[in-house]
């Protein structure tokens, strides 16, 4: 399997100059190619892009040779992927989103996709045409063959995302419990059907005062001045801190559920629709429901557990987890679920219990049929495997 490990780098001032040059060369080459193929009568093809790169761009801009040639050549692949997704969206009738020119300071990065151009040894990284090895903050988490490295810059920090081909991933599949249902929310980020609670994930809200203060300072600075640049850098560092805090909680939740349960049932939330609620949109975006779902799904696949996504219109909050009666009059303000059968329970815990039951009921027929096919020696259809 292919797994990536993103590690913060500790470059020296000389190495920072090289990394910035490499990011600039990749961005410049990408923009030159995009400008050429955006002209009337020009059709995109990788072969034509490579010929234009060799015969025109590299000769016109000799300073490309100060960094590895693969930095700029890989810009052809990047633009090719951008056009690929553009044509796909056109074919599917979506908003096409034509490839855009890269701007300095936004998503600065470059990639080396050939092993001879880089290598990792202990806590150091070697890059072609850089005389010294770059120190890394930690060792690689996985053992195996390094396939590619992507160097990126964010808020003045440098990171290396190293893609490893490995088979030694620890599934941590011992002492797992059978199943769990997870109810997502704003007050509590996740409430599990066994009563485990993960608190609110509102890191932007807790930093809004500091962010507003820094933005007011930025508005008073003269454009183009060094003080404005420093003020802008402080804002970027704060945004990076908020993102890191949010990601830490999402990783904690996804790690816990995928390491402790064999069957996980989650909601199919319409996050884009929920963001249209002007009163809750910032809190919903701050929580990161979509990111949490993606984390749970890919970690469950790695660790060998199963994920069931409940139907979008499944009324998990309105069903009594004891008798099954549906309370159609339940409002969002009702935080305690009360049923005629005498049940009084936290609304979110009731929803988690219903999701757990939904997942077990959905998965049982599939599991039973799969076991029957396995006993007879027949192949199991891919459509019967819950993912």
Per DSSP, the residues of 253-312 read HHHHHHHHEEEEEE----HHHHTT-TTTHHHHHHHTHHHHHHHHHHHHHHHT-EEEE--T
pLDDT of 197 reads 93
- Which H or E element spans position 354? helix 347-376
Phi and psi at 9, nearest 5°, equal: -100, 155
Question: Domain total for the chain?
Answer: 2
Q: How many angstroms separate the first and last alpha carbons of the chain?
A: 17
On whether residue 62 sits in a domain, the answer given is yes
The answer as to whether 170 is a domain residue is no
Tell which of 165, 197, 212 closes a domain.
165
Do 154 and 285 reside in the same domain of the chain? no
Q: What is the pLDDT of residues 248-264, one digit of tens each?
A: 999 999 999 999 999 99
Spell out a b/e string for 262-290, using b for 16 or more CB atoms within 10 Å of the CB, else e.
bbbbbbebebeeeeeeeeeeebbebbbbe
Residue numbers of the domain that contains 23? 2-165
Domain co-membership, 23 together with 43: yes
Q: Which residue has the tokens 């908003």?
A: 95
Q: Let me know whether 144 and 243 are in one domain.
A: no
Domain boundary at 141, 165, 189, which?
165
Q: Is the pLDDT of residue 129 over 70?
A: yes
Q: How confident is the model at residue 170 (pLDDT cuts 50, 70, 90)?
A: low
Q: CA 380, CA 236: separation in Å to the nearest integer?
A: 50
pTM of the model: 0.82
As given in the structure block, the two tokens for residue 20 are 């910035």
Residue 336 lies in a domain: yes
Output the CA–CA distances (angstroms, integers) from residue 292 to 25, 230, 267, in the order listed: 35, 33, 11
Which has more confidence, 381 or 281? 281
Examine the pLDDT at 50 and tell me if it is beyond 70.
yes
């Amino acid at each position: 399997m292919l797994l990536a490990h993103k590690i913060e780098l500790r470059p020296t001032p000389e190495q920072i100059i090289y990394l910035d040059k490499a990011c600039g060369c990749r961005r410049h080459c990408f923009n030159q190619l995009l400008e050429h193929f955006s002209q009337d009568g020009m059709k995109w093809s990788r072969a034509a892009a490579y010929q234009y790169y060799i015969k025109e761009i590299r000769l016109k801009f000799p300073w490309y040779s100060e960094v590895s040639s693969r930095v700029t050549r890989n810009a052809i692949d990047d633009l090719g992927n951008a056009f690929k997704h553009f044509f796909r969206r056109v074919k599917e009738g979506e908003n096409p989103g034509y490839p855009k020119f890269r701007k300095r300071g936004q998503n600065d990065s470059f990639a080396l996709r050939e092993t001879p151009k880089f290598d990792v040894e202990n806590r150091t990284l070697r890059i072609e045409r850089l005389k010294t090895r770059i120190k890394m903050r930690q060792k690689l988490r996985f053992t195996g063959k390094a396939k590619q490295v992507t160097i990126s810059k964010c808020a003045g920090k440098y990171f290396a995302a190293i893609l490893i081909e490995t088979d030694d991933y620890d599934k941590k599949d011992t002492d797992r419990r059978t199943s769990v249902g997870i109810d997502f929310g704003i007050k509590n980020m996740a409430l599990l059907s066994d009563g485990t609670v993960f608190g609110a994930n509102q890191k932007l809200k807790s930093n809004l005062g500091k962010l507003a203060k820094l933005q007011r300072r930025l508005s008073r600075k003269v454009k183009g001045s060094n003080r404005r640049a420093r003020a802008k850098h402080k804002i970027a560092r704060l945004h990076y801190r908020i993102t890191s805090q949010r990601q830490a909680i999402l990783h904690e939740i996804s790690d816990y559920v995928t390491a402790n349960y064999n069957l996980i049932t989650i909601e199919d939330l319409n996050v884009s629709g929920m963001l249209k609620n002007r009163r809750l949109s910032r809190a919903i975006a701050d929580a990161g429901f979509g990111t949490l779902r993606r984390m749970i799904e890919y970690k469950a696949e790695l660790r060998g557990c199963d994920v069931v996504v409940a139907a979008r219109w499944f009324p998990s909050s309105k069903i009594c987890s004891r008798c099954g009666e549906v309370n159609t009059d339940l409002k969002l303000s009702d935080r305690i679920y009360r049923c005629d059968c005498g049940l009084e329970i936290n609304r979110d815990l009731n929803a988690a219990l219903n999701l757990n039951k939904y997942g077990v009921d959905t998965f049982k027929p599939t599991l039973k049929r799969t076991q029957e096919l396995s006993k007879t020696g027949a192949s199991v259809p891919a459509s019967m495997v819950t993912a």
